[in-house]
């Protein structure tokens, strides 16, 4: 692998890890980068999923304090993400590769649209949280908040988490924004705590998908690319969790959209 390609993939991993920890959709940095460098789409997806596990882990660890008091709900969401990711990975591994080639540009466009409207989704979720009296400024350090979610909303939340898990297991881009949108619509929770839950659920999806790809399609993964993404995303996830709140979300999204459009152009012209 050329040194320049190695540097680009590693830098893309750093950016993806940081962006995933802060807002989600970091796959829209690494996936288009791999495609633009000539990797087949399915290989890019598998290598990306394996590599981003490290970044998801460091991002989740960085937000571990915000997970306190959420386990009553997460104990239902986590199995939904696990099963959904397994189904999504199965679809990627068993459907003809031509299906992925046809579907992924559409999924990429949808993901880019979600990135563009992401600030509106997060602002709406924040306003809804504050209106319900669950703003983080009212929570003292170390206090455990037990959120009362109706049975109907819990069922909807689990079903929606399962659906996002399927999407994430098949094509991981923007699953974090989807999770934020789902939780913002169905529960009253502080944005940073929702972000922590999103990081954990995305980690589960990435781990399930990575294990499935490794076991079933070991030879179709570019381990050099996956390793570079893992190293970069591990650093990026740590930086994003600790310093990402200081970065301009508009600048981050602009980078995502530009790189995503380059990858989309590459997919449509190959």
Looking at the structure of the chain, the number of domains it has is: 1
**Residue 163 has what pLDDT?**
93
Digit-by-digit pLDDT tens for the chain (270 residues) are: 788 999 999 999 998 888 777 766 678 788 888 988 989 888 988 998 898 888 888 878 877 888 888 888 899 999 999 999 999 999 988 888 788 778 877 877 776 776 677 667 666 656 766 665 544 455 444 444 444 457 788 888 999 999 999 988 888 777 877 787 788 777 777 777 888 898 899 899 989 999 999 998 899 899 999 999 999 988 887 887 776 556 666 666 676 677 667 667 766 765
**Residue 180 has what pLDDT?**
78
Q: Which sign does the torsion angle of CA 15, 10, 236, 57 carry?
A: positive
Q: In 245-269, which positions are buried (b, 16+ CB within 10 angstroms) versus exposed (e)?
A: eeeeeeebbeebbebbeebbebbee
**Residue 146 has what pLDDT?**
41
Strand intervals (E) in the chain: none
Q: What is the Cα–Cα distance from 87 to 227, expressed in whole angstroms?
A: 25
What's the domain range around 203?
3-269
Q: What is the Cα–Cα distance from 129 to 75, expressed in whole angstroms?
A: 21
**Residue 24 has what pLDDT?**
66
Q: In 1-14, which positions are buried (b, 16+ CB within 10 angstroms) versus exposed (e)?
A: eeeebeebbbbbbb
Q: What is the Cα–Cα distance from 55 to 69, expressed in whole angstroms?
A: 24
**Residue 212 has what pLDDT?**
92
**Residue 248 has what pLDDT?**
63
**Residue 149 has what pLDDT?**
57
Q: What is the Cα–Cα distance from 89 to 66, expressed in whole angstroms?
A: 29
pLDDT tens digits for 51-102?
888 888 887 887 788 888 888 889 999 999 999 999 999 998 888 878 877 8
């Amino acid at each position: 692998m050329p040194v320049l390609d190695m540097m680009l993939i590693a830098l893309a991993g750093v950016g993806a890890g940081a962006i995933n920890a802060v807002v989600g959709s970091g796959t829209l940095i690494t996936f288009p980068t791999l495609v633009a460098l000539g990797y087949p789409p399915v290989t890019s997806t598998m290598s990306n999923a394996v590599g981003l596990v490290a970044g998801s882990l460091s991002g989740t660890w960085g937000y571990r304090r915000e997970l306190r008091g959420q386990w009553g709900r997460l104990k239902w969401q986590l199995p939904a993400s696990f099963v959904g990711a397994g189904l999504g990975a199965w679809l990627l591994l068993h459907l003809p590769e031509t299906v992925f080639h046809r579907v992924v540009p559409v999924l990429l466009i949808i993901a880019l649209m979600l990135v563009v409207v992401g600030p509106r989704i997060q602002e709406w979720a924040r306003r809804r949280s504050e209106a319900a009296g669950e703003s983080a400024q009212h929570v003292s350090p170390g206090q455990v908040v037990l959120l009362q979610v109706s049975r109907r909303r819990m069922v909807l939340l689990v079903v929606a988490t399962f659906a996002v898990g399927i999407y994430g297991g098949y094509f991981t881009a923007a699953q974090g924004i989807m999770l934020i949108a789902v939780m913002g619509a169905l529960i009253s929770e502080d944005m940073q705590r929702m972000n922590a839950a999103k990081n954990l659920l995305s980690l589960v999806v990435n781990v399930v998908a990575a294990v499935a790809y490794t076991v079933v399609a070991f030879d179709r993964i570019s381990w050099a690319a996956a390793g570079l993404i893992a190293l970069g995303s591990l650093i990026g996830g740590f930086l994003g969790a600790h310093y990402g709140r200081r970065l301009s979300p508009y600048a981050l999204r602009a980078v995502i959209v530009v790189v995503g459009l380059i990858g989309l152009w590459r997919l449509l012209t190959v």
